[in-house]
Structure 1
Amino acid sequence: MSHRTVKDVMTTTVRIVYAGTPVKLIAEQLDFAGISAMPVLDDEADVVGVVSETDLLHKITYQDERDEWPRLLRRHRTDRAKAEGLVARDLMTAPAITIDADASVVDAARLMEKRDVKRLPVVNDTGKLLGIVSRGDLVRLFVRSDAQIRDEVEAEVFGRVLLHPPDVAAEVTDGVVTLSGTLPRRSDVELAVEFARRIDGVVRVVDALAHVDDDTSYRALREQVSYPSGPFL
């Protein structure tokens, strides 16, 4: 069982600009589409950067600044250089932070958080644009209905992982999954809880499962026999 992939949630109709697109046209595109950023492509249609409203705002921020006392911070120098730019390649953030279409939504979320970005251009193995995935696309996974989540728990966890055990049930309320019933082994309970947690849209898993045989105690004993502690004789 695995999480949904980026290609399952990404937007495939993407508004783009090219590296030589003038600033005025970039602003018009962002305003017309009601978006805050666009991928920037080179002449070979490879993704080379992202240009955003923030990049354009530098032109306003610095337009009246004479900079008689130049600040030496790298961020200031970079922002000021963008303010003087005329086309996308001058303004864009580069290199672009991209992701593969087959990456999991978990990987996408981690990359966004790590790099502090709101969206990721999705590219193939040659760098060509396939789509774009945003924080909003990932958040929408949590608005799946309780019925959809329950159906997936029953199909994937009870059906595929546990092979249709007869005495188990799943209830879902506001994304919280409660597993109840009895399974043959404690290890089956652990599997059920772990795989239920992996289903997209699940907020929390409540373990109300019972078991007949505690096979985990045998597992612990085997590990002790295999890896004895204490000094060797």
Structure 2
Amino acid sequence: MVKVKEYMTKTVDVVTPNNTAGEVIDLIKKTTHDTFPVIEDNKLIGIISVHDIFDVEKSEKIENLMTKREKMIITRPDAPVRDVGRIMFRTGFSKLPVVNDNNELVGIITNTDVIRSQIEKTTPLKLNKIVKTYENLGYKIRVDEGIIPIDKLKPTQSKIYADELCGREYELKMGLAEPIIVIKTKATKDKYILIDGHHRSVACYMSNIPTLNAYVIMVDTNNKLGIEKTAEKQGLKSLKDVKVIDEDKNDSSDIYKLNSKLEHQR
């Protein structure tokens, strides 16, 4: 079951009860958000929206305008996303604060996140499918989780799409990126064969983020796998060999710029 913590935004813009309506207006202009949790001593004590500060003095304190915690609808990191979606549908709220058992804010989930959770395949399902495939080929498999250096990835996909790349860059900035899936064998030495997560990896590479969380499938073999041999035949040695394309505008200057940035990165 997909949980809130898998899709919530972990980096949240917040205000304090001592902030003023004018300061919230400035924050709205800066972030383009219209709602902010109100925090005091790391605890969630309320929420303030653009509607609460409409037609009030800019000097008015947020503590006098906010909806207080006891009147709020919140959710938990382990809550099913499906249940959160039903709450949003019934109440009309577009976002809910996510708090832990100590009432500390750990994230925020929006209706867009809920929709995204329903249209994306979850990484665990992909992981299990890949593991079963190699087990059926007779390999002994072990799955670990770890942090993988981006410059140690060997891609197996020759192209990615610009629109999805932009989405993955946004997810990285917001702390939403799911783990990638890689394969490690004795033959790969210090490299990792990238199986799933090419858009995330390239977005990470272009953003100068050195590492990504990963599921590491350890395959007990001294030989190169077929997928690695195929990638090498395509000239795929590192992430800079992956081309960024647009399905409708292959000659777009913006796509050229993306490829140029990728080529000269680092």
* TM-score, normalised via structure 1 length: 0.49
Structure of greater Rg = 1
